[in-house]
Amino acid sequence: MIGKVLLSITILLSAATPALAMHISEGILPAGWAVFWFLAAAPFVAWGVRQITRKKDTDPSYIPLLGIFGAAVFVFSCFPIPVPVAGSTAHPAGTGMSAIFLGPFASVVVAFISLLLQALFLAHGGLTTLGGNTFSMGVVGSFAGFGAFRLGRLLRLPLFWCGFLAGMAADLLTYLSTAFEMALALHGTEPFLTVLGPIYLAFMPTQIPLSLLEGAVTGGIIVYVRKHRPDILRKLKVLQEVKA
């Protein structure tokens, strides 16, 4: 069984080449927009750092969770997955999952650090587009994932489906935000919506299957945590009404 899984992963990995990203590449955003998105993302990062500092002082078990989901966001967001129906590759965001376990602001910090490392060392994204990428993957991805999860809980959906919604929303809205940032900066004299629509739709053949996968992984992890460490979900107040 493990051999088959390893073989499948090897095949998936060998089908891809590195440097296949979803982030806005270096130099694509004009200077003004690059600065604008830095300024837009900065308060979320600053508040996130404040929350992490507070939580690690009050709850010692927060640091291991930060380690797991921080590393997961970094690995997920530089892991190209080939989508045969589209003939291209993209990667999950992972911020929906981290927002559930760490909180949406801490998830923005995790995304910012991941994107910074990728821009510096992996030729992935860019330093001038770091603000824009942090806003789309970090801010929009985290809050969309967190919001979708909370909505699922309000609708009393099973825990797996709440996680599924979170993963899917984080992925799809990250790309909507990327398309929005590009259209806003580059539409020129063309109407904004006629630029936004085709860019977002061009992401969809790759992102719809990938968002389903990300949803399944996020839902699966939440179910795993409920089974093995329900106290974590109780601490996050997720299990108040679920009863482990």
Q: Cβ closer to other proteins: 23 or 55?
A: 23
Q: Report in angstroms how near the CB of residue 180 gets to other proteins at its nearest.
A: 13
Q: 88 CB contacts (<8 Å, ≥6 apart)?
A: 20, 82, 205, 206
User: 159 with 151: CB under 8 angstroms?
Assistant: no
d(CA 158, CA 57): 33
Closest of 19, 23, 34, 16 to residue 123, by C-alpha: 19
With CB under 8 A as the contact rule, the residue among 56, 79, 157, 239 that binds other proteins is 79
The answer to the question of residue 11 lying near other proteins (CB under 8 A) is no
Q: Kindly tell me which residue out of 11, 35, 39, 122 binds other proteins, with binding defined by CB under 8 A.
A: 122
Rounded least distance, CB 154 to other proteins, Å: 27
Pairing of strands 81-83, 88-90: antiparallel
Task: State yes or no: residue 120 binds other proteins (CB under 8 A).
Answer: yes
- In the complex, the smallest distance separating the C-beta of residue 14 from other proteins, rounded to whole angstroms, is 11
| Binding to other proteins in span 85-104, by CB under 8 A | 87-90
3-state helix, strand, coil in the chain (%, to 5): 75, 0, 25
Least CB distance from residue 43 to other proteins, whole Å?
25
Mark the segment that binds other proteins (CB under 8 A) among 36-44, 67-75, 104-112, 157-165. Answer: 67-75
Q: Are 196 and 180 in contact (CB under 8 A)?
A: yes
